[in-house]
Chain A
């Protein structure tokens, strides 16, 4: 087999120097502080759905205060019973594909810490205490603490030997078992994040270790992971990092070893029947990345598309944000029945996409969009490691923005016909044929005032759908608003600087706005705070436009002439066009508003609406008929991305019957078909 270096020489591509060696170990200085590192050995028994593992955790106290209590996540206890906070929230308001309400007796999962010892043998297990930092749910067992006999000194390190046993739940919330496929996310006892001033605005060292919520994702410190996974021989394994070894065992199992430095998590899949497809990403000046795709055999046709989307993202991100430093990326296209529950999830160097039995050729946006999105998460949250519990927009909103960037760069648009199943695309395709930019799909706001601010813990939104809209679409639209303020080029520099400065750290909303203000040279914090920490929306509208002909000196009627007796005067042959435009500001978001009037003679007039005014009436009088206003527009240069109704941003004096007639006609036709269909039953 040719080495990657030789292949590069043959095809004439000069890659950038690697940041990690072929075993996932960093070359040169570590990229991160490596606050929490793990050496894990785990065995999976698919028949019992049981994981048995041991872990050596090495944790560094980054603070200046001794720490004797360590906080841990036990995420899989979210699936232990219907009393967990996760299950309660999922039943009440839904979660991220997390319906445990239909779980049967065998479907629940759990995790249990069997032992926790210091290297000298001191047993910490008796100090275990369940904590509920987010609610008063005493039944929730997704967070626990261990208390050390002696505190970890400032900037000191402690090692713990943990042993645990867990049962994988039926697939939910991107983890668990579906048939012969198991996805292991958040599967080991994981230490929380000790936030140290000035990190994310904390004033004293504070543990940030939230319970597992139905809508929440995760937050973790960087570290090195060295993991040995023992599974039955027939199972294909894909995981975070680089495979460093594979050893067959006498009992019919295989032990796979993986290693990766400078990541915040480790996830993996064990899957009987998966097809493995390998490739390499090579591009001039960017580090090489080995790619592995796991797909079900009957959806093998999806693998090239998953690879294509991953390469496109690595290329775009490497040029615009930060080169992908890791040597490997694993992409999983789940088996039939597991796509919606486990596809579309991001872990460092390991993402799940979608696999379709019959993808649309040559580019299936369903596969490409989710792959681009999840791979982009390796920057926005994987490296720029924000807190997904408390500021989810920093990963989902930024990644939605990033997905759009890649989508647009590839010239891709959405055609709803791609969602149709095979066999129906030709007959039914024309009914839903569309060409919609990703930006409109993701970021189109619909209400003039939101219920909740974008920045808030994800379990404190009013509804599940509002949380989704806020942290994905609204947040992306807010970023486009900032981009509109500073221009596309400057905003691209903002995002690159943000990535460079905050990679391998934990930024906050303020950190982002500070970078944006610094790079753009414009204080974006007021607008940014209004967008991310406010609920105001925007709907500026040209409500009226009318013109009447008047005599040049005034309207028809009695007029004083040279101060003498009033004389009657009527409109003569020469008239002025007197026009009036009414502009309403229906939303509360305060952004500068400019109105442009276009006259019949082609001239234009711009009018600034004073800040704070909720409406403006603009009157003009010019010699007609060229002086008639034919078009009035608000925001003439660029429609604000958060404007909920861009159509009412412009109004013509002449009627535009086609859209109203077209829509009415289509409504009528649809109503006729509905009536005909119901008539079939009568």
Chain B
């Protein structure tokens, strides 16, 4: 539990790291939305009948069909590809911050990110194999459940979602298994990244395998990491809920909603940093070797030697 609290403390203390991640998030989201802005301004810039109407109304969101009839809808595919590249790049810096107690320097952050980007990409590809294996667990579990007439939230029919109770004890337990399987994969990925950084490994297959072994031998850590993920989801949900109940209808309220939305995303990204810190602490406590923050590879600047 102490490890969890420490991870959260680091996650929310590392505001500069979160700001870098938020910047990337803005870039991707901005590229998604940009094609729509001229159309929205043209359609609603002098539209008294849309003033004061809620977002979920035919004057606004539901009535967008004619606005986008000649294109201009948000773009998703290409910005998400950019996100993949950016995220793969930035995680190196995040690992550095999760391991370091020193001050944040943007140059150092980018230096670590650039140093590790290739290895992090290869590590991710190796660990995609584990994702497939981890996904098999809930899938295989769902088969006998189906035979015995027990539903998961994934096999509940549309009828069941609208008219019945998709969240039963059994389906929630299955969902917990899904969360644990995902937590196992995600923690392995984070641990692998920490190992790459700490031990300056160049053989990513070996790093992946070490990470998986380490995580499998620490089931308590997997459970705690899953709890961290659940906390992140819960926090996000609560903050997003507060955001959703904000009133609408004026420029001030629109700006307030936008600002509050940044709080929601900020919290999500802080949890991401906390997750990496959790993995670093796990490595430090279970692997032989120096604390990751003490390793020469931690520093972006050359360390003077005698």
Contacts and interface: CB of A to CB of B under 8 A. Distances in A.
Interface of A: 299, 336-341, 354-358, 366, 416, 419, 421-424, 427-428, 430-436, 440, 444, 446-448, 539, 545, 631, 644-669, 671-676, 678-680, 682
Interface stretch (B158-166, B208-216, B288-296): B158-166
Contact of B49 (A355, A646, A657, A660): A646
B87 A663 contact: no
B25 interface: yes
B83 A678 contact: yes
A662 B56 contact: no
Contact of B47 (A428, A430, A444, A650): A650
B9 to A, nearest CB: 21
A373 to B, nearest CB: 16
A650 B51 CA distance: 11
B48 A354 contact: no
A319 B243 CA distance: 45
Contact of B43 (A299, A432, A648, A668): A648
Interface in B243-272: 243-245, 248-251, 253-255, 257-258, 261, 264-265, 268-269, 272
Nearest to B64: A663
Contact of A675 (B28, B45, B52, B253): B28
A192 to B, nearest CB: 34
Contacts of B148: none
B87 A649 contact: no
B159 A338 contact: yes
Most buried by A among B41, B74, B254, B264: B254
B139 interface: no
A655 B261 CA distance: 25
A422 B167 CA distance: 8
A424 B162 CA distance: 12
Given A663-B55, A665-B261, A676 B268 contact: yes
B70 to A, nearest CB: 12
B50 A354 contact: no
B61 to A, nearest CB: 7
A678 B28 CA distance: 11
Given A356-B164, A645-B67, 16 more contacts: A336-B163, A340-B158, A356-B162, A366-B162, A421-B166, A430-B244, A646-B49, A652-B48, A655-B46, A656-B46, A662-B55, A663-B44, A672-B29, A674-B76, A676-B268, A678-B83
Top 10 nearest A-B pairs (CB, nearest first) are A671-B29, A669-B261, A659-B50, A430-B244, A671-B32, A659-B44, A660-B44, A662-B254, A645-B66, A665-B258
Nearest to A343: B163
11 contacts: A356-B163, A421-B165, A645-B63, A645-B67, A646-B49, A646-B59, A650-B47, A656-B48, A659-B53, A662-B55, A663-B40
B159 A340 contact: yes
Given A652-B46, A665-B261, A423 B167 contact: yes
Contacts of A679: 25, 83, 87, 272
Interface residues of B, number: 79
B257 A665 contact: yes
A664 B255 CA distance: 10
B237 interface: yes
A431 B244 CA distance: 5
A619 B45 CA distance: 22
B219 interface: no
Contact of B25 (A650, A666, A672): A672
Contact of A682 (B43, B83, B255): B83
A303 to B, nearest CB: 14
Contact of B40 (A432, A660, A672): A660
B33 to A, nearest CB: 5
Contacts of A422: 165, 167
Contact of A659 (B51, B66, B80, B237): B51
A663 B261 contact: no
B94 to A, nearest CB: 11
Nearest to A654: B46
A516 to B, nearest CB: 27
B58 interface: yes
A674 B244 CA distance: 16
Contacts, number: 225
A675 B46 CA distance: 31
A657 B45 contact: yes
Given A336-B159, A336-B164, A659-B60, A650 B48 contact: yes
B56 A647 contact: no
A357 B124 contact: no
B59 A664 contact: no
Nearest to A666: B55
A656 B186 CA distance: 46
A647 B36 contact: no
Contact of A667 (B74, B265, B268): B74
Contact of B56 (A357, A366, A416, A424): A416
Nearest to B243: A669
Contacts of B272: 679-680
Contacts of B154: none
A665 B37 CA distance: 10
Contacts of B124: 682
A654 B51 CA distance: 13
A646 B250 contact: no
B257 A662 contact: yes
B107 interface: no
A664 B35 CA distance: 11
Interface string B21-36: 0000110111011001
A497 to B, nearest CB: 32
A436 B58 contact: yes
Max chain A C-beta neighbours (<10 A), residue from B47, B161, B243, B249: B47
B269 to A, nearest CB: 7
B240 interface: yes
Contacts of B164: 336-337, 356-357, 421
Select the residue from B36, B66, B87 with max chain A CB neighbours within 10 A: B66
B88 interface: yes
B188 to A, nearest CB: 13
Contacts of B264: 669, 673
Given A340-B159, A421-B162, A646-B63, A672 B46 contact: no
A93 B8 CA distance: 52
Nearest to A660: B44
Contacts of B217: none
Contact of B248 (A357, A662, A682): A662
Given A433-B56, A658-B251, A676-B265, A339 B74 contact: no
B146 interface: no
A663 B66 CA distance: 15
B162 A419 contact: yes
A424 B167 contact: yes
Contacts of A647: 43-44, 47, 49-50, 59, 63
A116 to B, nearest CB: 39
B241 interface: yes
Contacts of A366: 162
B165 A656 contact: no
A432 B245 CA distance: 10
B71 interface: no
B157 interface: yes
A299 B163 CA distance: 9
Contacts of A446: 65-66
Contacts of A671: 28-30, 32-33, 74, 79
B45 A631 contact: no
Contacts of B47: 647-648, 650-652, 656, 659
Contact of B254 (A421, A539, A658): A658
A660 B41 contact: yes
